[in-house]
Structure 1
Amino acid sequence: MSALSLFAPAKINLGLSVLGIVPSGQPHTGYHALHTLMLPLDVGDTLEVWPADALRLEVRGADLPSDGRNLVYRAARAYLDTAGVEAGAEIVLHKSLPLASGLGGGSSDAASTLLALHRLYPAEVDLPALAARLGADVPFFLTPGAALVQGIGEQITRLNLPSISLVLLNPGTAISAADAYRWLDETAGFTPPLDVGAIRAALAGGQPLPYFNALQAEVLARHPEVAAALGALEAAGLHSPLMSGSGSTCFALARSREQAEAMARRLQTEHPDCWVRAASCSGV
């Protein structure tokens, strides 16, 4: 059988509110309650998957483990075990996204792994439940499209949003999501829900977006290079710069795909040590 090839898209958080910590006595006690708009992009990683007699993973493009420390491996093992499949799979992960960058690369890779194995070995498996066991962002990537994500990431409401073009800039700093949330906890800097209606209206009108990222202030306080990335995007004439997720990737919106591509080329020349990409999201 020829290999299945799946694109694993990056995501951005078009605003990220952390409402607080789920109190004791409720499901998901101790986790963070979120309110965020998530959009898949047309940049990401790629997976190739074949049926095999055992589970094997190869990673190309990044120095990552290929065993149970890798989320792709864990996703594959979880699906095979849950589906009762005695065979395995040969998986090649082609990494294009920077690591620990707030773009959801690992979560997207894991979701694509579940989808690929479900096609190779169809079975009555609750993929969203399995995805939720792997990580808060993984369920989002099982279905295409923008979404309002709430709870600890398991409450997903698909939304139609206007198409957007943007530029991504990563200064080369890996930031642990666990650290970013811990820094927020230390200040109790929790935030109210996003004004989703206002964000959608601003997108439709090409206006600056009234959004925020609850994790951003504490990350900037410790990583001035992330603040510099936001400044570089704004100086390039892009609007509504924001850090995505727990960082360190920042993004800003362009008036068109052509402007995004032109500004990405300019920023890559001005900041050769950074990872810079033009990207788009269809919004649906």
Structure 2
Amino acid sequence: MNVGTASLPCVTHALRRFAPAKINLGLSVLGLLPGGYHALHTLMVPLDVGDELEVSPAETLNLTVQGADLPHDGRNLVYRAAQAYLDAARVQAGAGIVLHKRLPLASGLGGGSSDAASTLLALAELYPARVDLHTLATRLGADVPFFLVGSPALAEGIGERLTPLSLPPLHLVLINPGTAVSAADAYRWLDETRQFTPPLDVQAIRAALEAGRPLPFFNALQAGVLARHPEIGAALTALSAAGLHSPLMSGSGSTCFALARSSEQAQQAAAELQRAYPACWIRAAEGRERSEG
């Protein structure tokens, strides 16, 4: 076999991969970049909730999605990620992929990007080759490279410049009111106001986490989204009323989160919120220091 070409799988059984959600412990949009991109400064943290994938060797590329009504072809980021890897590795075969979708769609948790990154990592194990996964990930989407890192990281540029960080344990509650928010819309609403923001004070955020104090962070996209989706503001209010601190919208929304003092408090608050808001998607979660296969 030639270097850089993978024709036969190194693994003959299905690989199961967890695709973690993420939150943004603050999201600053510094301004516009050429090509319609935005300059970001955000602290991203993978969580212990997410989607799952099964990836098996196959003659052709095929994708099945369970748990959500999503396309099974090139309109799906998982499919595009798989095709990108197979092409780059010059694989003369394909892969059978089953995506078990458990995160809400268009929710600011990075689900699609995480699914794509997990696909790249699984295929790199299935068909090893000299392929630059970071380059492929950057082409697929701004958040995809982060999920290759598998730990908290400061993301800069369009999200591709990553500095891994170690953070204190995180206990939090997530609430999604059932509203899908397009990231493109959220950024467009910010562009209309030109209310770009300064870099986050990462050291102050880390110090507040260590001390258990409210976090000195913000989300540059939040004001524009809340102006059009008051139910997201109601979710933030509900988190505060449940005794949690530092409520914030994650990414472009619509999922919001707030921090708890302990896992027990997070579990109790999530259960109480679920009883009060049965139509919402609510989870207690913890931060992950690294991805696990």
Q: The TM-score by the shorter chain falls in which range?
A: over 0.9
Offset of 1:86 from its aligned partner?
1.3
Counterpart CA distance in 1 for 2:288 and 2:99 is 25
Q: How does 1:245-264 map to 2 (within 5 A)?
A: 245-264=251-270
Counterpart CA distance in 1 for 2:194 and 2:140 is 26
Alpha-carbon contact 1:164-1:283 (below 8 Å) kept: no
Equivalent residue, structure 2, for 1:93: 99
Counterpart CA distance in 1 for 2:267 and 2:175 is 12
Q: How does 1:68-217 map to 2 (within 5 A)?
A: 68-217=74-223
What SS class does the counterpart of residue 265 from structure 1 fall into? helix
What SS class does the counterpart of residue 75 from structure 2 fall into? coil
Equivalent residue, structure 1, for 2:25: 14
Counterpart CA distance in 2 for 1:244 and 1:86 is 40
Structure 1 residue 4 corresponds to structure 2 residue 38:
no
What SS class does the counterpart of residue 91 from structure 2 fall into? coil
> What's the % identity of the aligned pairs?
74
Counterpart CA distance in 1 for 2:177 and 2:92 is 43
Alpha-carbon contact 1:55-1:77 (below 8 Å) kept: yes
TM-score by length of 2: 0.94
Structure 2: runs of 5+ lacking an equivalent? 1-11
Equivalent residue, structure 1, for 2:51: 45
What SS class does the counterpart of residue 208 from structure 1 fall into? coil
Structure 1 residue 63 corresponds to structure 2 residue 63:
no
What SS class does the counterpart of residue 237 from structure 1 fall into? coil
Alpha-carbon contact 2:143-2:159 (below 8 Å) kept: yes
Structure 1 residue 244 corresponds to structure 2 residue 257:
no
- State the aligned residue count: 279
Equivalent residue, structure 2, for 1:223: 229
CA RMSD of aligned residues (A): 0.8
What SS class does the counterpart of residue 258 from structure 1 fall into? helix
Alpha-carbon contact 2:29-2:198 (below 8 Å) kept: yes
Runs of 4 or more, structure 1, over 4 Å off, are none
Alpha-carbon contact 1:162-1:283 (below 8 Å) kept: no
Counterpart CA distance in 1 for 2:119 and 2:288 is 23
The one-letter amino acid paired with 1:56 is N
TM-score by length of 1: 0.97
Structure 1: runs of 5+ lacking an equivalent? none
Alpha-carbon contact 2:138-2:144 (below 8 Å) kept: yes
What SS class does the counterpart of residue 180 from structure 1 fall into? helix
Offset of 1:2 from its aligned partner?
1.8
Alpha-carbon contact 2:149-2:164 (below 8 Å) kept: no
Per-residue displacement from partner, 1:141-170 (whole Å, max 9, x unpaired)? 012110000000110000011011000000
Counterpart CA distance in 2 for 1:87 and 1:36 is 38
Offset of 1:140 from its aligned partner?
0.3
